[in-house]
Structure 1
């Protein structure tokens, strides 16, 4: 996309280097414009490494283990995420789908079907390096509008975090914007459904509200260089995107999305690259699966990081995605979900698979390897 903001920045840089728009060297060897003079011999691109993960789905066994590691009521989730922390650290922007409320100051902790996690989780997610938190999902109203508002308050109190997908009803023109390395990103989040309805003041936006979504896209195009859309959709347990997901993905691309991050099925679904109505190439991962959970299905264990570099060409104001790939992880635990934690697939072994709580029920190292290869093909990479 082209943006007047980019041209203004380029012109400002040109004037900074040349002193003024006129009066420069007019010799035959001199650059012919202030822009060319300012950037002669310079890299005229900006770049941001962006990573994204799926559902941070905190079942009771996970927060119970965190409580046992803490003291004085504090929940220590550190060991759950410790092995993947070096991957997150490589990102300039790291996006996570926070599947459950963190409203423990208002409501008791709870698990499926209506979740509520300790508020300490938020600070530990930020401490890992996740700086964009998406909240539009089917569990966002599990503690009602008040629980959603409290979750936003908890994350908003963290200095490095941008929250997407939570609004005060009717104030949908407030687009979450984050600037990294000179590139401005808009973060929008939508959901197909919620398990619990809410009529409160704090809310999310459903995919069916197309008028609101198209207006947000227009506003985001005016304010940002690159639009990231998180979307909660599809059928739980399905490793294949359905017709609705594909139709909605194409709409979002046509309306202005530059990258689409899918959630909700709790299993991985493929990456595709769509052609938008204006000719842009728009990557979509239909489901990032579970980042962490205590689900019991063989296909629920694999998750990981969508990894890419967003590049802004300062000459043209156009953005593009380079190096699109997927870095896989596995949720590892023993019997009865003991010692539950995430392991990079590159560090996961046959012996760990054999000791997994699901081993002996068709789950194995080769099972996960095949799942990853069949889902991502050439996009798959094991190292960060």
Structure 2
């Protein structure tokens, strides 16, 4: 999520205009070392002519896509409540800018044919299908006849997508859901029911978002199937500064395939807590996504002079909060 203070701070002038790469530099090694990295893009990249803006209707400089690619991300999901913040044009322009950057994407589409395609990636011999859906678009209706623009949560539609993925003989189905209540640290009954429905019908992994705070993760067993879910990954980067809203995690899933039996399992799960640092370099505002445990150590050893004593307190508090909520991190 990109608030106006974030893109003001990324302004560098010249041909590129905006440079978001330094924001992600502290966590770059953790992202680019993975075989495949994905994130949720909760803004539009509709272009300068549509005017850059933040809440309640987001439009961010398209250079952020290049920064995400540079950091090591391979894909972003685009189905969320801000997908229609610049209307149909914004959906299409966002897809075009993501494609230009080399990022894969799912959750929105330019036409019905594109909507009906299943994004499948073969990663180290494991075929994975990716889907993304949102509860809504902040009251902005999808134009009649253009319902393909944004994937809305609809069980019939989702089941059809699952079956289409199965027909492609994928090993794993991953679904990203934009759902739940903002700032609520526990999943609601409807969240759990929907995840259970998806797992029982063939989804293996569910990543949740929208609450802007971390929610628990768990393994679910239903109808002879096993699935993994984290109900909300928190805030990776934003200008939300309150407790719980200024942090998230990098979630690492390790998949293992038995090429004789064809069965693929989640071998291991771990995570790295992250915290958004907002500081000044001279008179210039500066944002960074920091790995929490490493940042604490850097403060204690004097390696990061941008961190204040108050930042140190918040970092330690974040580590305690995340550990209590999700378990012991890396």
Alignment TM-score, normalising by the size of structure 1: 0.78
1:106–1:147 CA contact under 8 A, matched in 2: no
1:252 pairs with one of 174, 198, 201: 198
Q: 1:348 Cα shift?
A: 1.8
Deviations 1:269-308 (A, max 9, x none): 111111132x232110000011100013111111121101
Matches of 2:99 and 2:287 in 1, distance apart?
A: 28
How far off its partner does 1:157 sit?
Answer: 2.5
Question: 2:110 & 2:14 partners in 1: Cα distance?
Answer: 36
Alpha-carbon distance in structure 2 between the residues aligned to 1:70 and 1:311: 46
RMSD of Structure 2 on Structure 1 (CA): 2.0
Aligned partners of 2:72 and 2:38: how far apart in 1? 9
Query: 1:179 aligns to what?
Result: 122
- 1:331 is aligned, of 268, 271, 276, to 276
Q: Is the 8 A contact 1:173 1:219 kept in 2?
A: no
**Runs of 4+ in structure 1 displaced over 6 angstroms?**
none
Higher relative contact order (CA 8 A, sep 6+): 1
Q: CA deviation at 1:71?
A: 2.7
Report if the CA contact (8 A) 1:334-1:355 is conserved.
no
Residue matched to 1:29: none
Greater shift in the superposed pair: 98-107 or 185-194? 98-107
Deviations 1:347-367 (A, max 9, x none): 2226736343xx9xxx63342
1:72 Cα offset (Å): 4.1
Q: 1:381 to 1:132 in 2, by over 3 A?
A: same
Aligned to 1:354: 309
2:97 aligned to 119, 143, 154, which one? Answer: 154
Residue range with higher mean Cα deviation, 195-204 or 179-188: 195-204
1:197 aligns with 2:141: yes
1:96 aligned onto 2:39: yes
Distance 1:369 1:93 in 2: 26
| Cα gap change, 1:144 to 1:217, in 2 (>3 Å) | same
Specify the alignment match of 2:324 in structure 1.
Answer: 374
- 1:191 to partner: Cα distance: 0.8
What is the number of residues matched between the two proteins? 315
> Which consecutive unaligned segments of at least 5 residues does structure 1 have?
1-56
Shifted more, 88-97 versus 99-108: the winner is 99-108
- Maintained 8 Å contact 1:353/1:365: no
Once the two structures are TM-superposed, the CA of residue 98 in structure 1 deviates from its matched residue by 0.4
2:319 equivalent to 1:364: no
Residues 132 and 343 of structure 1, relative CA distance in 2, 3 Å threshold: same
If the length of structure 2 is used for normalisation, what is the TM-score? 0.90
Within-5 A mapping of 1:262-301: 262-277=208-223, 279-301=224-246
- 1:42-61 mapped onto 2 (5 Å cutoff): 57-61=1-5
* Cα distance in 1, alignment partners of residues 287 and 63 from structure 2: 18
The superposition leaves residues 154-206 of structure 1 with CA deviations (integer Å, 9 ceiling, x where unpaired) of 112233x2211112454443111111112111100011122122216351121
Q: Supply the distance in 2 between the matched residues of 1:373 and 1:331 (Cα, whole angstroms).
A: 17
1:91-130 equivalence runs, <5 A: 91-130=34-73
C-alpha distance in 2 between matches for 1:70 and 1:346 = 34
Change (3 A) 1:119 1:268: same
User: Structure 2 unaligned runs (5+)?
Assistant: 301-306
Query: Which structure's CA Rg is the greater one?
Result: 1
Query: Deviation per CA, 1:182-240, whole angstroms, max 9, x where unpaired?
Result: 21111000111221222163511211x21111000001112221111000001111111
User: In structure 2, the residue corresponding to 1:334 is in which secondary structure?
Assistant: strand
Aligned equivalents of 2:314 and 2:24: distance in 1?
A: 22
What SS does the corresponding residue of 1:269 show, helix, strand or coil? strand
| 8 Å contact from structure 1 (residues 61, 337) kept in 2 | no
State the shift of 1:373 in Å: 1.0
Distance in 2 of aligned mates of 1:104 and 1:153: 10
Q: Does 1:62 align with 2:14?
A: no
Q: Distance in 2 between matches of 1:364 and 1:261?
A: 26
Aligned equivalent of 1:306, options 242, 251, 256: 251
Partner of 1:340: 287
